[in-house]
A = this chain, B = another copy of it.
Amino acid sequence: MTDPTVVSAFHFKSESPVASKLEAFTRLSSDDRAAIAQASRNVRFVEPRRDLVSEGDRPRFVHLVLDGWACRYKTLPDGKRQIVSIFVPGDFCDINVYILKHMDHSIGAITRLKVAMITPEEMNGLTEGRPRVTQALWWHELVTTAIQREWTVNLGQRSAYERLGHLLVELYLRLKTVGRAADGRCDFPLTQNDLADATGLTAVHVNRTLQELRRDGLIELERKQLHILDLERLKDASMFNSNYLHLDREGRHLDAND
Whether A135 pairs with B82 at a CB distance below 8 angstroms is: no
| Alpha-carbon distance A84/B155, docked complex (angstroms) | 11
A78 contacts across to B, CB distance below 8 A: 239
Inter-chain CA distance A212–B153, complex, in Å, is: 26
* Neighbouring B residues of A55 by C-beta, 8 Å: 243
Q: Which of A96, A138, A156 has the most CB of B within 10 A?
A: A156
Measured between beta carbons, the chain B residues less than 8 angstroms from A11 are none
Asked whether A152 is an interface residue with its Cβ less than 8 Å from the other chain, the reply is: yes
**Residue A251 CB within 8 A of the other chain:** no
Complex interface: chain B residues within 8 A of A144 (CB)? 145
Q: Would you call A149 an interface residue if the criterion is a C-beta within 8 Å of the partner chain's C-beta atoms? A: yes
Partner of A153, one of B76, B101, B150, B241: B76
> Contact string, A149-188, partner B, CB cutoff 8 A, digits 1/0?
1111101111000000000000000000000000000000
Q: Indicate if A60 sits at the interface (CB-CB under 8 A).
A: no
A203-234 CB contact bits vs B (8 Å, 1 = yes)? 00000000000000000000000000000000
Contact B142 A152 (CB under 8 A): no
Cα distance, A84 to B145, chains bound together (Å): 11
Decide if B156 touches A82 in the complex (CB within 8 Å).
yes
Q: How far is the CA of A141 from the CA of B100 in the complex (A)?
A: 11
List which A71-122 residues lie within 8 A (CB) of chain B. Answer: 72, 74, 76-78, 80-82, 84-85, 94, 96-97, 99-102, 104-105
Query: A40 an interface residue at 8 Å Cβ cutoff?
Result: no
Can you report 9 A-B residue pairs in the complex whose CB atoms are below 8 A from each other? A77-B241, A81-B157, A102-B246, A104-B246, A105-B244, A145-B148, A148-B148, A155-B155, A155-B156
* 19 new A-B contacts at CB < 8 Å, known A99-B139, A156-B199: A74-B150, A74-B153, A82-B153, A82-B156, A82-B157, A96-B142, A97-B142, A99-B135, A100-B142, A100-B246, A102-B246, A102-B248, A104-B243, A104-B244, A105-B149, A105-B244, A148-B152, A152-B152, A155-B155
> Which 8 pairs across A and B sit closest by C-beta, in order of nearness?
A156-B200, A155-B155, A104-B244, A82-B153, A82-B156, A80-B157, A84-B149, A148-B148
